[in-house]
Amino acid sequence: MKEWIKFLLLAILFLVCFYFPLSIIPFKGPIFEALALVQWYAREHVLLCLAPAFFIAGAISVFMSQDAVIKYLGPESNKFLSYGVASVSGTILAVCSCTVLPIFSGIYKRGAGLGPASAFLYSGPAINVLAIIMTARILGLELGVARALGAVGFSILIGLAMHFIFLKEEKNRPKAEGFKTTGSKTERPLWKNSLYFLSMVVILVFANWGKPGADDTGLWPLVFHYKWYITGFSLLALAYMLFRWFKKEELGDWVSATWGFAWQITPLLFLGVLVAGVFLGRPGYEGLIPSSAIKSLVGGNSIFANFFASIVGAFMYFATLTEVPILQGLIGSGMGKGPALALLLAGPALSLPSMLVLRGIMGMKKTVVYVSLVVIMATISGIIYGSLF
Number of compact structural domains in the chain:
1
CA–CA distance, 227 with 111 (Å, rounded to integer): 41
User: Average pLDDT of 352-367?
Assistant: 84
The answer to whether residue 364 scores a pLDDT higher than 50 is yes
Residue 14 lies inside a defined structural domain of this protein: no
Residue 180 lies inside a defined structural domain of this protein: no
CA–CA distance, 389 with 384 (Å, rounded to integer): 9
Band (112; pLDDT cuts 50, 70, 90): confident
The answer to whether residue 179 scores a pLDDT higher than 60 is no
Chain segment 34-43, per-residue pLDDT in tens: 888 888 878 8
Residue 12 lies inside a defined structural domain of this protein: no
DSSP state letters, 3-20: HHHHHHHHHHHHHHHHH-
Residue 324 lies inside a defined structural domain of this protein: yes
Residue 5 lies inside a defined structural domain of this protein: no
Radius of gyration of the chain from Cα atoms? 21
Q: Is 37 exposed, middle or buried (0-12, 13-18, 19+ CB in 10 A)?
A: buried
Residue 360 lies inside a defined structural domain of this protein: yes
Residue 47 lies inside a defined structural domain of this protein: yes
Q: What is the mean pLDDT of the chain?
A: 81
- The most confident of the ranges 83-87, 127-131, 181-185 is 83-87
The answer to whether residue 65 scores a pLDDT higher than 50 is yes
Chain segment 237-270, per-residue pLDDT in tens: 999 999 999 988 889 988 988 888 788 777 877 8
Residue 167 lies inside a defined structural domain of this protein: yes
CB 241 within 8 A of CB 192: yes
DSSP state letters, 82-98: HHHHHHHGGGG----TT
For residue 254, the enclosing domain spans 25-174+188-388
Chain segment 196-220, per-residue pLDDT in tens: 888 988 888 788 776 776 666 777 7
